[in-house]
Amino acid sequence: MTPAPRPLSSLGLSARGGLDPVITGITADSRAVKPGFLFAALPGVAVHGATYAMAALERGAAAVLTDAKGAALFQGPTVVAEDPREALARAAALWFGAQPATMVAVTGTNGKTSTATFCRQIWNLLGHAAINIGTTGVEGSWAAPSSHTTPDPVTLHAMLAAAAEAGVTHAAMEASSHGLDQRRLDGVRLKAGGWTNFTQDHLDYHKTFEAYFAAKAALFTRVLPPEAVAVLNLEDPALADFHPPQSLLTVGKHEADLHILGQRYDATGQDLRVSFRGVTHQLRLNLIGGFQAENVLMAAGLVIAAGEKPGDVFAVLPQLTGVRGRMQLAATRRNGATVFVDYAHTPDAIETALQALRPHVMGRIVVVFGAGGDRDTTKRPLMGAAAAKWADVAIVTDDNPRSEEPALIRAAILQAAPEATEVGDRAEAILRGVDALGPGDALLIAGKGHETGQVIKGDIYPFDDVEQASIAVAALDGVI
């Protein structure tokens, strides 16, 4: 429902000269301005939005929200704010009004999508109408696509209001460091915030390690109210000395409020014994990798911090399923060998995925992978080296060759993986990988994850690794 027009002052803003125009909408993009809109002219990374203030006023903007620097660039009804991004976020929260009653946010270099998805699944399993908002869009009891991990505040608050009006009561959102730095989450009413881990990333934007840390820490020091709960993963030494102003719920392997007492891996998942504030719980996770157990503990900590009973939460964890295409169990052979699909398409990600799989596999690990065309060429031999080091058998195939000659891409990978087999056709490579599996072995098909196409010379051919895995198993073992 579109909010009804109302005075600027109802959004917590006052214009120069005591003006209080009626506002009919909000946007930070001059091209989206309609008569009566508040146009937020933000100091951007590329350009100052106030460059477009006159264009916005010509389109009928009722007022322009900007900073002192921007205000000097045009004439017209102006709201000057020290930090216009914060003012926009708070105004958007007031404009759209409704938000799900129980919301949590999670930040961290890795694990945000998985953790937010697990929070939503736990709430759904406990009977709540819940969503997660992040890299995979809005998912759950209300769905919408999203171009950003953390949407801009106008988009975000429109989503939250629409979801709340549709009956959604619980939401878990990903807080990217860009989103936090650009104040996209200011004005969101959170009950708990989580921090999974902190390693180097995004220095192109944040410039220094310290600035990147500060952007993530802002979830606690600026966005989360003092009465909320901070959930920290103590396993990451980078977080050990961080002391947020909220009360803490810690997770980890040792001495945390929620910690792992014992962990046993098998072909399709892991059994955990965990302790939550002195009470022991035994649980099954049908998820691969020690890091997924960390993400599940983080999600459990967040939903408990937001009001769920620990016993109820631990009871539903065996029903959690991973994010599509992320270490997804795609098929199982008659002999018990397993086939996983993961979107790992960088040297680091291949190494992480193969290492995560290792404790689950009694036999050999086979990997099928390739590298994309028209993209970073330096990673090709590094991917070959990672596969050669961490897998027992490597099959090099095509993965979106785009305009490049596929054989040359494969050759660059094979340079660093001389023992690997070369099979250009991806379906045949998967069939060969599945065929190589004996009892206790596992195949990792890396690269595409949830994607459903193979890009060759400007055309996209339908290709789904999960589907191909099933087809290969059915062809070799008979349909089961």
Q: Which residues bind ligand UAG (CB under 6 A)?
A: 28-31, 42, 44-47, 49, 52, 148-150, 152, 176, 178-179, 182
Residues 81-110 that bind ligand ATP (CB under 6 A): 110
Q: By C-alpha distance, which of 376, 377, 387 is closest to 349? A: 387
Beta strands in 86-196 (DSSP E): 102-107, 130-134, 137-140, 170-174, 192-195
170, 129 contact by CB (below 8 A): yes
Residue 179 vs 384, nearer CB to ligand ATP: 179
Where would I find the beta strands (DSSP E) of 383-438? 393-396, 421-422
User: What is the rounded CA–CA span in Å between residue 125 and residue 74?
Assistant: 53
> Which segments of 274-378 does DSSP mark as H helices, in order?
290-305, 310-316, 347-357
The nearest distance, CB 329 to ligand ATP, in angstroms, is: 14
Q: Which is nearer to ligand ATP, 40 or 119 (CB)?
A: 119
**Nearer residue to ligand UAG within complex by CB, 67 or 152:** 152
- Is residue 468 within the footprint of ligand ATP (CB under 6 A)? no
Q: Cβ 184 to ligand UAG, closest distance in Å?
A: 6
State both tokens at 268. 């399709």
Residue 335 among known ligand-binding residues = no
384 near ligand ATP, judged by CB under 6 A? no
Burial code (b: 16+ CB inside 10 Å, e: under 16) for 107-131 equals bbbbbbbbbbbbbbbbbbbbebbbb
Asked if 355 touches ligand ATP (CB under 6 A), the answer is no
Report residue 334 CA to chain centroid gap: 34
Q: How far is CA 182 from the centre of its chain?
A: 17
Q: Choose the contact partner of 178 out of ligand UAG, ligand ATP, none; CB within 5 to 8 A by kind.
A: ligand UAG
Residue 181 Cβ vs ligand UAG, minimum distance, rounded to whole Å = 8
Which of ligand ATP, ligand UAG, none has residue 1 at its interface (CB below 5 to 8 Å by kind)?
A: none
Strand partners, 275: 259, 280
197 binds ligand ATP (CB under 6 A): yes
- The reply to whether 169 sits near ligand ATP by the rule CB under 6 A is no
What DSSP string runs through 156-186?
HHHHHHHHHHTT--EEEEE--HHHHHTTTTT
Between residues 281 and 326, which has the closer beta carbon with respect to ligand ATP? 326
113 binds, among ligand UAG, ligand ATP, none (CB under 5 to 8 A by kind): ligand ATP
Q: By CB under 6 A, tell whether 177 contacts ligand ATP.
A: no
Cβ proximity to ligand ATP, 145 vs 278, nearer residue: 145
- Return the residue nearest ligand UAG (CB atom): 44
- Does 148 interact with ligand ATP (rule: CB under 6 A)? no
Return d(Cα 360, Cα 114) in angstroms, integer.
20
Distance (Å, rounded) from C-alpha 396 to C-alpha 419?
A: 10
Q: According to CB under 6 A, which one of 27, 149, 182, 328 is a site residue for ligand ATP?
A: 149
113 touching ligand ATP, by CB under 6 A: yes
* Comparison of 105 and 249: residue with beta carbon closer to ligand UAG: 105
Residue 452 annotated as lining a ligand binding site:
no
Residue type, 343: Y
Of 128 and 326, CB closest to ligand ATP: 326
When the beta carbons of 55 and 248 are compared against ligand UAG, the nearer one is 55
Q: If you search the block for the tokens 């979107």, which residue do you land on?
A: 343
Residue with token string 């961490």: 390
Question: What is the DSSP pairing of strand 269-276 with strand 258-266?
Answer: antiparallel
Residue 375, annotated as binding a ligand: yes
Residue 451 labeled ligand binder: yes
Supply 192's token pair.
Answer: 């708990």
Which residue's CB is nearer to ligand UAG, number 178 or number 450?
178
Q: What is the DSSP string of 186-253?
A: TT---SEEEE----S--HHHH-SHHHHHHHHHHIIIIIS-TTSEEEEETTSHHHHT---SSEEEEEES
The reply, when asked if residue 196 is annotated as ligand binding, is: no
Pick from 298, 299, 314: nearest CA to 234: 298
From ligand ATP, ligand UAG, none, which one binds at residue 326 (CB under 5 to 8 Å depending on kind)? ligand ATP
Instruction: Determine how many CB atoms are found less than 10 A away from the CB of residue 448.
Output: 25
Quote the tokens at residue 52.
């477009």
132 is a site residue for ligand ATP (CB under 6 A): no
Strand partners, 445: 341, 368
Binding residues: 30, 108-114, 149-150, 176, 182, 184, 375, 399-402, 447, 451
Known binding-site residues for meso-2,6-diaminopimelate equal 375, 399-402, 447, 451
Site of interaction with ligand ATP (CB under 6 A): 110-114, 135, 149, 174, 196-197, 291, 294-295, 326, 349, 352-353
